[in-house]
Structure 1
Amino acid sequence: MAKLLYSASMSTDGFIAGVGGDMSWLTPYLGPNPTVDDLAARTGALLVGRRTFGGDDPYRDLPGEGEAFGGGWDGPQFVLTHRPPAEPVPGVTFVTDLATAVTRARAAAGDGYVNVLGADVARQCLAAGLLDEVLVSVTPVLLGDGVRLFDHPGGSTVRLEPISVTQTPPVTNLWLRVVR
């Protein structure tokens, strides 16, 4: 069965997007990253939050704009939303509940990963005991405010154990397993 992996690029102070979902801060740090390239090759499906799906793109005005992994991945995408669009989007399935979204994404991913994109969807997966791994690409920048990697005020501690730590300067990749 496919594993659920939450992946994100994160500022050193813990933000995956700037104020209002701004992703322009990430553009200088895009580039070859063997760890992320390996993930893209092993990803069978995406499970994406609605804000992430419709949000800002760090590849704006670059090749790969509007495409997963900047064009480095192609496959089925499942967007978790309470507001599906009126018109279909090719290659994208809109799902209104987490259990159905995870079941369909896992089926589509086969033996690959279901890559979870979006802090709120990742938090929901974690709360439901569904999240298996986390990959964080830490960038050397301080944003000061924005969307946190994981935000759950009053929530319980989540233990993680390292799988690997790799560096593709200036980015440090932390691949972690969720301890159950």
Structure 2
Amino acid sequence: MSKLLYSVSVSADGFIAGPGGDMSWLAPFTGPNPLVDDLIGQVGAILAGNRTFRGDDPYRDTDNEGEAFGGGWEGPQFVLTHHIPETPVPGVEFAGDLASAVAAAKAAAGGKYVNVLGADVARQCLEAGELDEVLTIVTPVLLGDGVRLFAHPGGTNIRLEQLGVSHVPHATNIWYRVAR
């Protein structure tokens, strides 16, 4: 059965995007990462939020702009949104509710990971008991403001169990399981 994995690059101060959703900060840190390279082959589908799908791209103005994992992955993509476009987008299905988006993405993943992209979708999956694992790729930069890795108004206490840690020159990878 497919698991949901929130994999995300994050600044050392906990932001996944800068102010206004800016992702340009990430470009210097997209170098080789054996853990990510291995993960790409384990992803069967992507579940993204609308802001992530339509948002800023760290690969802007390159041949890999708009491509998942910088062009290293191809497959079914599902976007959770309240604003389903009238014109179809090739390779992308849109869903108006979390349950149907998760079910469709899991079915399409064929036993591989559903890679969750976007802080709000990850939070919704976590709150619904659907998120299984979290991979944070911590980069050596401080952004000071932007989109937090995880935000829960009023706070919460969700335990994570560390599965592994690895290092590359431009990042530290920390893989967790969501404790149940």
TM-score normalised to structure 1 length: 0.98
Counterpart check, 1:20 vs 2:8: no
Structure 2 counterpart of 1:7: 7
Q: Deviations over 1:36-76 (max 9, x none)?
A: 11111100000000000000000012231110000000000
Which residue does 1:99 correspond to in 2? 99
Q: How many pairs are equivalent?
A: 180
Map of 1:53 onto structure 2: 53
Q: Give the SS at the match of 2:41.
A: helix
Superposition deviation, residue 154 in structure 1 = 1.3
Match in the other structure for 1:145:
145
Find the aligned partners of 1:103 and 1:155 in 2 and give their Cα distance.
28
Asked whether 1:126 is paired with 2:126, we answer yes
CA deviations on 1:142-179 (whole Å, 9 max, x unpaired) are 00000000000213200001111011112000010000
Deviant stretches of 4+, over 3 Å = none
Name the SS for the 1:141 alignment partner.
coil
Distance in 1 (CA, whole Å) between partners of 2:69 and 2:103 is: 23
Report what 1:163 is aligned to: 163
Per the TM alignment, residue 130 of structure 1 is displaced from its structure 2 partner at its CA by 0.5
Alignment deviations for residues 83-133 of structure 1 (CA, whole Å, 9 cap, x no partner): 011100000000000000000000000110000000000000000001000
Which position in structure 2 is the counterpart of 1:117? 117
d(CA) in 2 for partners of 1:146, 1:15: 6
What is the aligned partner in structure 1 of residue 179 from structure 2? 179
1:32-43 pair list within 5 angstroms: 32-43=32-43
Structure 2 gap segments, 5+ residues each: none
RMSD (Å), alpha carbons? 0.7
C-alpha distance in 1 between matches for 2:178 and 2:78 = 22
Could you state the TM-score of these two structures normalised by the residue count of structure 2? 0.98
Q: Which AA in structure 2 matches 1:136?
A: T
Amino acid aligned to 1:81? T
SS of corresponding position for 2:136 = strand
Identity value in percent: 71
Contact 2:165 2:172 in 1 (8 A): yes
Q: 1:31 — aligned with what?
A: 31
- CA distance in structure 2 between the aligned counterparts of 1:170 and 1:79, rounded to whole angstroms: 30
